[in-house]
Amino acid sequence: MENNKQNNQRRTFLKSLAGLTAGMMLPLSSINAEGKAIPSPYMRDRLGDLLPKRKFGKSDLSVTMLGLGGAHIARMKESEAQKTIERALEGGIRFFDNAESYGGGTGERRYGQFLTPKYRDLAFIQSKSTARDGKTAQEHLEGTLSRMKTDYIDLWLIHAVTSPGDVDSRLKNGVLDYVLKAKESGKVKHIGFSGHSDYNAHLRMLESTDELEACQMPINAFDPNYKSFITNVMPKLMEKGMAPCAMKTLANGGFFGGTTHFNSGDKPRIVPNVLTVEEAIYFSWSLPISVLVTGADHADMLTEKIDFAKRFKAFDEKKRQELISRVSGFDGKSVEYYKV
């Protein structure tokens, strides 16, 4: 009975998303008096055409629908990291993710080498802090700004909340207080939080404060079947007018049979046995997310995602449900091994 109830709740919520995704997208062009399409000014900058943009929560801000993940940038050879960052810019990506913990600061240093010196005015940069107290959060932010050679970041997240108790502890120890102070000072423009372990941690954060503007979490076609962030957290984000930022759209390797971060493995594979990569990515974009942060192993892998974004057409509710059902027979502990 409980499973049936959860399935009904899932279907009701996913059905309610109809039209929300379209509302996130900004128009690509307007029509002049002669009936010709004029590219919207926010779809180009000094480097050329941008990928389509989406609204960032209830703010006036918009961000490109695809973002470059910093964890993989930290793991690459330096030359490939530079190539991948440049490929992102050439392909119209303007959202760049990172965290102080990625490669012990290597990911942020590479943005300081290859992104901010020439392109700080174009890039929307997100970073994150795993700090458990306010003093450490301050140290993390100072390090982030120094490594990325910038005097502000666009979005700073309280990173990787793991449980309601973890949220309570961080708030008690002054993490949010410092995050708010950093925003007031101008060192941070927007603030939020992230996590992939337990949706209950997200619910605790959302019930504890109305100050945050964005939330990064797993959003993929398997998620509604197992300890779901989409079903349990996204409705709250919509209510609060927050910006949902998608990560783990391929379950961090879990769709490829992997059971450790970034790796494929010998477990049953959703991709390519049941879904294509394109179907999996389009599922996530068909939900009302502001940005999909992709972890690319190299520049050519990023090009694939850029091409997906350029030809994206949203799946309707029937198609989304079909994909969820298609993957429902897989073991959640294997596919989304990072959930607890």
Fold designation for 63-335? TIM Barrel (3.20.20)
- Tell me what pLDDT residue 37 has: 46
Q: Are 172 and 130 in contact (CB under 8 A)?
A: no
Look up tokens 């997200």; give the residue: 202
C-alpha closest to that of 225 among 2, 1, 6, 18: 6
Residue 197: HSE in the Cβ half-sphere, 13 Å Cα cutoff:
12
Q: What is the pLDDT of residue 15?
A: 63
Q: How many helices (H) and strands (E) would you count in the chain?
A: 16, 14
In sequence order, the 6+-apart residues with CB closer than 8 A to the CB of 150 are 112, 116, 120, 125
- Per-residue pLDDT at 30: 43
Residue 25: DSSP 8-state: B
Q: Which amino acid is at 121?
A: D
Q: How far apart are CA 292 and CA 284, in angstroms?
A: 8
Residues in contact with 132: Cβ distance below 8 Å, sequence separation at least 6, in sequence order: 169, 170, 173, 175
CA distance 67 to 288: 15
| Cis peptide leading into residue 268 (ω within 30°) | no
Q: How far is CA 160 from CA 38, 72, 110, 127, 167, in A?
A: 42, 17, 22, 12, 10
Helix, strand or coil, per DSSP, at residue 72: helix
pTM of the model: 0.92
Divide the 340 residues of the chain into consecutive groups of 10 and give the mean pLDDT of each group: 56 61 60 49 86 95 97 97 98 98 98 98 98 98 98 98 98 98 98 98 98 98 98 97 98 86 75 96 97 97 97 96 97 95
Cβ contacts of 122 within 8 Å, gap of 6 or more: 45, 46, 47, 89, 94
Q: Where are the domains of the chain?
A: 63-335
CB 218 within 8 A of CB 226: no
Residues 6+ apart with CB under 8 A from 249: 218, 219, 220, 280, 281, 283, 284, 292, 294
* Residue 255 β-bridge partners: none
**CA pair distance 302, 294, nearest whole angstrom:** 8
Q: Give yes or no for a contact between 241 and 58, defined as CB atoms under 8 angstroms apart.
A: yes
Answer yes or no: are the C-beta atoms of 275 and 327 closer than 8 Å. Answer: yes
Q: Which one-letter amino acid corresponds to residue 194?
A: S
Main-chain phi, psi angles of 285, to 5 degrees: -70, -20
> DSSP string spanning 222-271?
SGGGSS-HHHHTHHHHHHHT-EEEEE-TTGGGGGGT--STT---SS--ST
